[in-house]
Amino acid sequence: MKPAFSEWLIANRPLIFFIYGLAFFILGLSIALQLRRTSRLNLARSLPWLAGFGFLHGFNEWGDLFLPIQQPFLAPPFYDLLRTIQLILLATSFASLFQFGIELMRPLPNHWRWIRFVPCLTLFIWFLGPFWLGLVFVQDYAIWHNITNTLARYLLCVPGSFLSSYALFRQGRKQIRPLQIKHIERMLGLSAGALLAYGVLGGMIVPQSPFFPANLINVNSFEAIFILPPPVFRSATGLLLAITIIRALEVFEVETQRLVLQMEENLVISNERERIARDLHDGALQQIYAAGLLAQSLRKQADGALAENLDRLIIVINQGIEQLRRFLSQGQIEVQTVELIPALELIFDDTRRFIQIETHWDTPSSPSLIPEQINHLTAFTREAVSNAIRHAHSDRLEVRLECQEEHLKLTIRDFGQGLPQYPEMGYGLRNMRDRARLLGGELAIESSPQKGTTVTLEIPVRGKT
């Protein structure tokens, strides 16, 4: 039965490679058709690299289908050239997958930003070493092809698949779970599992080569144990990856629906604020004005103790009018500019009456953000400054803003008494964490009695277009 099954596999090998290539091509096409540039999720920014992996890897696998069919009609040098191009497609696809995993891990700390160039550097080392130098020194083309193919899988596929698997799992935990979309988080988990399995099947099950571990763990030893060739299992993982990623892309539709709902709610709230402000201005405020005028009229006719009481009454009425005016102005749009630094300076100008504030703008220009981001950042800053004034008992604050490429970092440090060892999660801290989450950023709070408290907010931002 085994020889018959082997013959059936050999006869249907083109079908296996067609399904294999089709699975990855569908993955790339599905992602390319649904790329979203306005999403807050890191996944949206990283998806073009995964789409590139799908397209390139699909074309590579279709090469295993069509090149043997064309071999009888091609001159040997031209056939070898096409196989070499196919090898470059293979390595480039793995480098794209590697880059996808790194982009999905962003924003990276400053001392880890060099990691972004690792896939490109590894691809260059592969091209310069086993590919180019191997082509010069290895005389047998088949041996050179197997060695170069094997090293591409070891150097690019294994780390790229494993890192992308971890990054997808992390994305589901950190950005999808707070949105409470369980089926999307489950799909990302399955995608991470599929990439992990592909890292083993596509990166560690390699053509037989004369060095360890390729001389022991390779395609031939795998088929001897599992009967089925590795492309069958790779096709299964590719189909699982394509299906789960396509399902996970529904998160953009959910995000869009929630954004539209939020806009509708904001519109209703804005209209209600305008109605309340109009009613207050036309009703209660006018009555208080009238009461003030009446009190001033009575003051002209009174003297002695009654006059003093009327003076105090006029002062109270004017204070009430001023508070109502301030309330009506606060009911309007919170921020009138999309420039972050001027918006923050307005907060600090009001606060410098109570505490000394040093500002350091480590950015060539004020980062251009949408009004919603400005609102969250100014509210976050106002809360952090307020906490420092009320609780830290510090005489000064240090504020630093850093903006590099697609990464913005806001640091607010006081020099007070620090937080308690086990601080209670009050409204202020919860509000700051909620603002950081809505901005898609990371919030860190470091505190000690000797150094005070340092609040750091890191958020991804998009460059100007």
Q: What is the pLDDT of residues 304-352, one digit of tens each?
A: 778 778 888 888 888 777 777 666 665 544 444 457 888 888 878 767 7
Domain stops at, among 277, 310, 330 = 330
Residue 396 lies in a domain: yes
User: Do 319 and 185 fall within a single domain?
Assistant: no
Return the minimum-mean-pLDDT range out of 45-49, 204-208, 298-302, 425-429: 425-429
Report the CATH number at residue 160.
1.20.1070
Residue 117 lies in a domain: yes
The candidate with the shortest Cα–Cα distance to 62, out of 196, 235, 239, 200, is 235
- Alpha-carbon distance of 188 to 348, in angstroms, equals 43
Judge if 165 and 241 occupy the same domain: yes
Q: Which residue type occupies 119?
A: P
**Bond before 213 cis per omega within 30 degrees:** yes
Does residue 284 lie in a domain region?
yes
369 contact partners, CB below 8 Å, separation of at least 6: 338, 340, 377, 461
15 falls within a domain? yes
Q: Which domain holds residue 386?
A: 340-460
Q: Any alpha helices (H) in 105-152, and if so which ranges?
A: 118-126, 134-137, 141-152
Are 343 and 335 contacting, i.e. CB atoms less than 8 angstroms apart?
yes
Predicted pLDDT at 364: 65
User: Which of 284, 308, 330 is at the close of a domain?
Assistant: 330
- Structure confidence at residue 3 (pLDDT): 63
Are 41 and 12 contained in the same domain? Answer: yes
Are both 37 and 131 inside the same structural domain?
Answer: yes
Are residues 145 and 20 part of one domain? yes
Are residues 325 and 345 both part of a single domain? no
The total of structural domains in the chain comes to 3
The domain boundary, picked from 330, 352, 379, lies at: 330
Question: Is 67 part of a structural domain of the chain?
Answer: yes
Asked if residue 254 belongs to a domain, the reply is: no
Report the candidate in 445, 444, 451 with the shortest Cα–Cα distance to residue 418: 451
Residues 325 and 351 grouped into a single domain: no
196 and 95 assigned to the same domain? yes
Specify which of 269-283, 389-403, 423-437 reaches the highest per-range mean pLDDT. 389-403
Instruction: Give every CB contact of residue 347 below 8 A, 6+ residues apart in sequence.
Output: 378, 381, 382, 385
Pair (347, 310) in one structural domain: no
* Mean pLDDT value across residues 367-396: 78
Residue 428's CATH number: 3.30.565.10
Are residue 112 and residue 172 in the same domain, yes or no? yes
What is the distance between the alpha carbons of residues 91 and 97, in angstroms, rounded to a whole number? 10
For the chain, what is the total number of helices (H) and then of strands (E)? 17, 5
Question: Under a CB-based contact definition with an 8 Å cutoff, are residues 417 and 377 in contact?
Answer: no
236 and 325 part of one domain = no
